[in-house]
Chains A and B, each alone.
Chain A
């Protein structure tokens, strides 16, 4: 057991401005990471002299060792990157910070994610397009794969399965087939999160109301994903500060206690439907988080009915729906009716979800902004505050190896 005085708490959150893909060109992605970290540390009432650890995920280009140098961290004692694809590792990066702090490897660890896709390639794009495409391209051949991941994608890319919108359409389409889930039910997710974003000044889509009709009329990207079933692509950075209960007690702001963390993937999962059509039948039309969710709840000593507010990773609407089932908020196959009941809506729904607007409407910072919002929803400064919220679930990307965290309001 962790000694109570070393129990991990999140004591500060911060972010840069969030903008549409490609709109932040004058400031580098690295500078945005610095800004988000400085703001999170200041929000905690700490200074960079207190920080001795950094953690990130998804191959963030801004390496901890360089950030540590640029930010003048006196002595770096922990620097770590989660080995999980894409947005699946956000909460796992928090978990790494928690483990470092609870094990005494470091005292104050900042978890960060900076993502300026416009300055680099588009994250969801998949592989590089051939420069010489078109009818005049030379005859294609089999190429050397530089890694197991790329060899695995050799079984998807030649068929044009390159982007996430198409990959996650596959389990969602099967869910619709098995359980009668409808496009309108998926649309209600997008509409609900957009409504939440309307109160959030940071939200990229905060001033763009969305109706179910707008959703249904939006262009089809990869059936059943309409445009508004797909997350935004954004420029921005955010960060959260993890430290011990002992340090948290001395700070002015309320903190969020980390009740539990979990990460993982089921047998044979690899990159999930993105790379591996051979995900077990029982979990193909799920977010593949069910067994991890059980571990997560058991460790926290709470169940789905104890969750007052949730920040569910929303890369695609269908992945939200399948996670609601994985995390036990409704039975398998009942995600559609659960959404139709208005459960996700602030403030009267049974499970107000993505009170910041999520990746569908606030910004796509690979879901670390969901951790930021999870903290705000417990300490009372969310723009869609859930009254007396004591327990918040935050999840990272599902339908890939995933991770999650349960936060509790600090007493």
Chain B
């Protein structure tokens, strides 16, 4: 498996609402929260649908494709042995009602980055029980 980031990167923290996102990620499934009543989709997960305020929601798998909404290249390492610069981007997910997520774009030179660039998810298995969704140019 390809590794892009060292083990020492900060670990995800989750509560009851957001844990299913990370459980799905471990199976390489990218999910957003979707309301059973009004079909509103949201991230990060919440106990309440922010549109119709019901609590009847499920996790909905999306394609893993998307496009770059904005980005930054960070020139200071977060963890030991981390390569810099690295790219953090906001990605608008396809088929997710406009929901965006923060992630990394890997295997790209900073000068190649462009807002609007199509990307697709690339899973990084950080351990047997944890995978992080990163993105590559589609």
A residues at B contact (CB < 8 Å):
127, 129-130, 132-135, 137-146, 148, 150-162, 166, 169-171, 173-174, 177, 219-225, 267-268, 273, 275-278, 281, 284-285
Contact = CB atoms under 8 A, between A and B. Distances in A.
A162 B86 CA distance: 13
A146 to B, nearest CB: 8
B81 A151 contact: no
Select the residue from B8, B82, B98, B101 with max chain A CB neighbours within 10 A: B8
B75 A159 contact: no
Contacts of B74: 160, 166, 221-223
A266 to B, nearest CB: 12
Given A129-B8, A155-B44, 15 more contacts: A133-B79, A137-B79, A140-B11, A140-B127, A142-B11, A151-B15, A151-B44, A155-B102, A159-B88, A159-B134, A160-B78, A166-B88, A173-B71, A222-B73, A222-B76
Contacts of A159: 88, 102-104, 132, 134
B129 interface: yes
Given A141-B130, A170-B70, A127 B10 contact: yes
Interface residues of B, number: 53
B93 to A, nearest CB: 10
A134 B80 contact: yes
Contact of A139 (B70, B90, B99, B127): B127
B118 interface: no
Contact of B7 (A140, A171, A177, A278): A140
A268 to B, nearest CB: 6
A152 B5 CA distance: 21
Nearest to B129: A141
6 contacts: A137-B7, A138-B7, A140-B126, A141-B127, A170-B88, A277-B69
Given A222-B75, A223-B73, A154 B12 contact: yes
B63 interface: no
Interface in B55-86: 69-76, 78-82, 85-86
Contacts of B115: 173-174, 177
A30 B103 CA distance: 39
Contacts of B18: 145, 151, 154-155
A177 to B, nearest CB: 5
Contacts of B15: 144-145, 148, 150-151
A130 B6 CA distance: 12
